[in-house]
């Protein structure tokens, strides 16, 4: 059972992971942390398929990451797997979730109740990793008071109070690009510490706030490069 995140219990404790902790959190390269969610998503899918173990070679095939890199990444957190047997999927899922802090329930504030915001709020994959959209905000009078799932859309003026009442520290921006900076400023003033920006706008945040930009268009542009190479042409 996941724990509700409060001020005192949200810090992951990787020292309890694996049989022997090899690195302190400050020593772990950022690239390792970026790859852990990739491993986790793949392992969860394997678990859903009824698999109980997986080798680093198979995990590498499924993720596109070199098996030796996978083994190096995991040794930062302890001893996993058995030679000739592979990794216990259930154990590794549980371990990576604890490393990432995904064994807690994290409340999210969603800014923007349009089509994108509605899609994000309705995505069941969030709950699978302990993320719950518990507050949705918009400044459009036609949207305020409507429901997205079980959550009633509130006016953005209510954001500081709701963030404080629910102890929310993660916000998702799903607003028009021209409104992104104002939305970021608002959530930062409310005490939000992590922002996921779904807009193409260049947003600045103060020190102490972590900003992650995710733009589906940029992801598609990234894949076009490989498509062009596969077809042996500079044009698609």
The percent of residues in the chain predicted with pLDDT above 90, rounded, is 61
pLDDT computed for residue 217 by the predictor? 83
pLDDT for res 13: 35
pLDDT exceeds 70 at position 207: yes
147-164 pLDDT per residue, tens: 998 899 999 999 999 999
pLDDT band at 58 (very low <50, low <70, confident <90, very high): very high
What is the CATH T-level fold of the domain 13-100, as seen in this structure?
Answer: Arc Repressor Mutant, subunit A (1.10.10)
pLDDT reading at 56 higher than 80? yes
In this structure, the number of other CB atoms found within 10 A of the CB of residue 53 comes to: 16
* Residue 170 phi, psi (nearest 5): -125, 130
Average pLDDT of span 53-72: 95
As a whole number of Å, the CA-based R_g of the chain is 20
Measured CA to CA in angstroms, residue 1 lies from 4, 82, 100 at distances of 10, 27, 16
State percent of the chain over pLDDT 70: 85
Mean pLDDT on 87-108: 88
Q: What secondary structure, in 3-state letters, does the chain show? A: CCEECCCCCCCCCHHHCCCCCCCCHHHCCHHHHHHHHHHHHHHHHHHHCCCCEECHHHHHHHHCCCHHHHHHHHHCCCCCCECCCEEEHHHHHHHHHHHHCCCEEEEEEEECCCHHHHHHHCCHHHHHCCEEEEEEEECCCCCCCCEECCEEEEEHHHHHHHHHHHCCCEEEECCCHHHHHHHHHHHHHCCCCEEEECCCCCCCCCCCCEEEECCHHHHHHHHHHHHHHHHCCCCC
pLDDT digits (tens, 9 = 90+) for 6-33: 333 443 333 334 444 444 455 778 899 9
Sign of CA dihedral 191, 193, 194, 198: positive
Neighbours of 34 (CB within 10 A): 10
Mean pLDDT confidence for 105-115: 96
Going from N- to C-terminal start, the domains of the chain cover 13-100, 104-218
pLDDT of 128 reads 80
CATH of 104-218, one of 3.40.50.300, 3.40.50.150, 3.40.50.720, 3.90.180.10: 3.40.50.720
In the predicted structure, residue 59 carries a pLDDT above the cut 50: yes
Mean pLDDT confidence for 59-66: 96
* Cα gap 132→105, rounded to integer Å: 7
Q: What is the rounded distance in angstroms from the CA atom of residue 167 to the CA atom of residue 5?
A: 8
pLDDT of 25:
52
Q: What integer best gives the mean pLDDT of the chain?
A: 85
What is the model's pTM? Answer: 0.72
């Amino acid at each position: 059972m996941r724990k509700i995140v409060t001020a005192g219990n949200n810090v992951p404790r990787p020292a309890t992971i694996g049989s022997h902790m090899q690195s302190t959190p400050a020593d772990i390269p950022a690239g390792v942390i970026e790859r852990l969610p990739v491993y986790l998503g793949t392992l969860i899918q394997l678990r859903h398929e009824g698999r109980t173990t997986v080798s680093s070679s198979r995990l590498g095939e499924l993720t596109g990451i070199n098996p030796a890199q996978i083994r190096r990444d995991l040794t930062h957190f302890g001893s996993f797997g058995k030679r000739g047997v592979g990794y216990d999927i259930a154990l590794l899922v549980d371990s990576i979730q604890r490393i990432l802090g995904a064994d807690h329930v994290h409340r999210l504030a969603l800014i923007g109740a349009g089509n994108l915001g509605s899609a994000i709020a309705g995505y069941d994959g969030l709950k699978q990793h302990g993320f719950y959209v518990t507050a949705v905000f918009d400044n459009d009078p036609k949207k305020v008071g409507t429901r997205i799932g079980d959550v009633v859309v509130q006016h953005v003026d209510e954001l500081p109070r709701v963030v404080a009442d629910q102890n929310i520290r993660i916000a998702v921006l799903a607003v028009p690009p021209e409104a992104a900076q104002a939305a970021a400023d608002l959530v930062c003033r409310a005490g939000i510490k992590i922002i996921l920006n779904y807009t193409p706008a260049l947003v600045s945040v103060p020190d102490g706030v972590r900003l992650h930009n995710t733009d589906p268009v940029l992801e598609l542009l990234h894949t076009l490069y490989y498509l062009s190479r596969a077809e042996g042409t500079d044009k698609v």
